[in-house]
Amino acid sequence: MSTTSIKEVAKLAGVSLGTVSNVLNQPERVAEHTRRRVLDAIAQLGYVRNDSARQLRAGSSRQIAIVVLDVANPFFTDVVRGAEVEAEKHGVMVVVCNSSEDSDRERRHLDLLEEQRIRGLLITPVDDTRNSRLEQLIQRGTPVVLVDRGSGGRDRCSVAVDDVLGGRLAGEHLVATGHEHIAFVGGPMSIQQVADRHRGVTLATKGTARLSTIATPSLTVAAGRAAVAELADLPAARRPTALFCANDLLALGVLQEATKRGVRVPDDVAIVGYDDIDFAAAAAVPLSSVRQPREQLGRTAAQLLLEETEADGRHEHRHVVFQPELVVRESSTRT
């Protein structure tokens, strides 16, 4: 086992300790010629990073973290509440971080959380396709569980809801209530849940109804309001009679703006949301929504994560998928 220290590597390469650490952890931040000098020194000295010490340190923390897409979204509040119930059984605290659906912000959180040597991480990633930082965290020994996101990954657990089925349930309901032109309101499609819900409503309307899409930059109330403004600009004959929104915040924004413009819900336009947060039933026109078992998602994710941190490497990764349920209320019931 190599006893060479990181200091000896830095001395031989003529660089600082931080540069050696960057070469090992974030090589993209180091100039090619410097990176080469450090790697030559590592090879010459036979340096081997002491990951077991890091993992031990990571394991000793009494904190897990959860990085959510939008801390203002009650969906995540309920998920966090579930995770806390489970973490408290283990005497562990949950640190909540908000990525605001921004990849760079998410990365900054991951940098800080790793420096804090948290015991493990729950995360709803902003974008699966460009998440090298999350992969790095996992490779360096921080257990990660994906939340509200499925995964085929062998090196992490995941807890999700079948969002394709959720989209189908919403689409089939709107087709069954006589809608021939339905619009999907949601985005960005880089968020896997949004893409899966869109795929579900596409399957449900294939050959049965016309499906259009109103892309939104985010999953917020404001984006829902803006979507109605876009719809209002369409000629009456091209306007959909039903909207399936990628989450309840969008749907509540749509409902608010439609009502403000004198558009009757559901008579002029039906609305279905997704999550079934408490505000859905309490809305001025009670909102139909595809229910996600929010607290159960959080509890199960924390259970899987804490099992892994206490399993000394013998953990079998699991991918739990819950079934969604359509809750029909006034906002999509034909009178």
Q: CB of residue 282 vs ligand RIB: minimum separation in angstroms?
A: 17
Q: What pairs with residue 121 in β-bridges?
A: 65, 144
Of 23 and 68, which CB lies nearer to ligand RIB in the complex structure?
A: 68
Q: Structure tokens of 133?
A: 């930082």
Would you count residue 98 as binding ligand RIB (CB under 6 A)?
no
Query: In angstroms, rounded to a whole number, what is the distance separating the alpha carbons of residues 68 and 71?
Result: 6
Of 204 and 219, which CB lies nearer to ligand RIB in the complex structure?
A: 219
Q: Mask of contacts with ligand RIB, 182-221, x by CB under 6 A?
A: ---------x-x-------------------------x--
Of 191 and 301, which CB lies nearer to ligand RIB in the complex structure?
A: 191
Q: CB of residue 275 vs ligand RIB: minimum separation in angstroms?
A: 4
Query: In angstroms, rounded to a whole number, what is the distance separating the alpha carbons of residues 97 and 12?
Result: 39
Instruction: Work out whether strand 325-327 and strand 288-291 pair parallel, antiparallel, or are unpaired.
Output: antiparallel
Instruction: Work out whether strand 319-322 and strand 270-275 pair parallel, antiparallel, or are unpaired.
Output: unpaired
Residues 126-155 binding ligand RIB (CB under 6 A) are 148
Would you count residue 247 as binding ligand RIB (CB under 6 A)?
yes
Give the number of residues in contact with ligand RIB, rule: CB under 6 A: 11
Would you count residue 83 as binding ligand RIB (CB under 6 A)?
no
Asked if 88 contacts 57 with a C-beta cutoff of 8 angstroms, the reply is no
Q: In what order do the strands lie in the sheet with 181-186?
A: 210-215, 181-186, 242-245, 270-275, 288-291, 325-327
Binding residues (CB under 6 A) for ligand RIB: these are 69, 73, 75, 124, 148, 191, 193, 219, 247, 274-275
